[in-house]
Amino acid sequence: MNPINEMHVSQPGLLVVDAAAADEATVLAFQEMLADRWATAIAQRTTRDAGQPGVRLRCYLDLRQPAVPPATSAAVVSPVSEDGPR
């Protein structure tokens, strides 16, 4: 990966996140989880290093933005009716 640009960490609350995973789907899911919570500059692609296993991704977070609470799966589940079949 390229060196970290000083601008990306010039103030408190700015982060550069380098992630590595076995496959692209996993590292992109990780990035999406970060983006759901914080202001994130999303990477459009992953990279592979010759001779190294897996894929790598770099994204940039701004923790100075208000954090959004993560969505809960309880909101997706329908309530169970007591009138239903048993």
Per-residue pLDDT of the chain (86 residues; tens, 9 = 90+): 676 666 666 788 888 888 999 999 999 999 999 888 888 877 877 888 888 889 999 888 888 877 776 665 444 444 444 554 44
- Nearest partner of 33 among 70, 62, 66, judged by Cα: 70
46 in a structural domain: yes
31 in a structural domain: yes
Its domain, for residue 38, covers 11-65
What pLDDT is recorded for position 53? 85
Looking at the structure of the chain, the number of domains it has is 1
How many Å apart are CA 48 and CA 27, to the nearest integer? 12
50 in a structural domain: yes
CA 32 to chain centre: 4
What pLDDT is recorded for position 56? 92
In this structure, the chain runs to a length of: 86
Angle, CA 61 vertex, CA 57 and CA 64 arms, to 5°: 175
76 in a structural domain: no
